[in-house]
Structure 1
């Protein structure tokens, strides 16, 4: 398990979620974007909670491994979705010029 600190608060979550969160936040920073997330985590009393947070380019997260008697939840679906969102930010996107009259044809006759 990992204790993640952010904006003066901290929460306990699975290693997979924490690592996915760090990769996602790094991708957001590279794209100058921000996103709202609900992270599955544990409260200090051990109850499962959803941590709501907004992360973006200026987010400073810290993760510290922590021993816990809590059983790591099944996070496969959440981690998979976070991975997809990270890939979407990391993948090149085509640029489409919608300007009327745009052409890649060159007028070589003007060159002398």
Structure 2
């Protein structure tokens, strides 16, 4: 993955989920911190924190590694869940007969 001028290695499944996240976040959403497992050259896991939002630019590219891809079961599902929680929803509140729309509902 390439992000903010740097690169890191993660599982194919997590990389796909991150691309999905950025592609599905509506333009009116705020940035969100997403932490995923990254891996060193010898396969050791290290957390990678990303600030993702509608303007994020990431690149996913397959990387051949010399180790078995570490288990990241459930991480991609969690990233996809976070992406779906960013659906473009609005809450209407009425006070004194006037409605106000809040588009930043999480």
Same fold (TM over 0.5): yes
The counterpart of 1:99, out of the listed 78, 95, 98, is 95
Deviation at 1:102, TM superposition (A): 5.3
Structure 1's unaligned 5+ residue stretches are: 104-112
The counterpart of 1:78, out of the listed 71, 75, 78, is 75
Relative to structure 2, which stretch is displaced further, 10-19 or 67-76? 67-76
Deviation at 1:60, TM superposition (A): 1.0
Deviation at 1:52, TM superposition (A): 1.6
CA RMSD of aligned residues (A): 2.1
Structure 2's unaligned 5+ residue stretches are: 100-106
Distance in 2 between the 1:29 and 1:42 partners?
29
Deviation at 1:94, TM superposition (A): 4.8
Q: What is residue 57 of structure 1 aligned with on the other side? A: 54
The counterpart of 1:18, out of the listed 15, 19, 22, is 15
What TM-score, normalized to structure 2? 0.77
Greater share of residues in helix: 1
What TM-score, normalized to structure 1? 0.73
Deviation at 1:8, TM superposition (A): 1.4
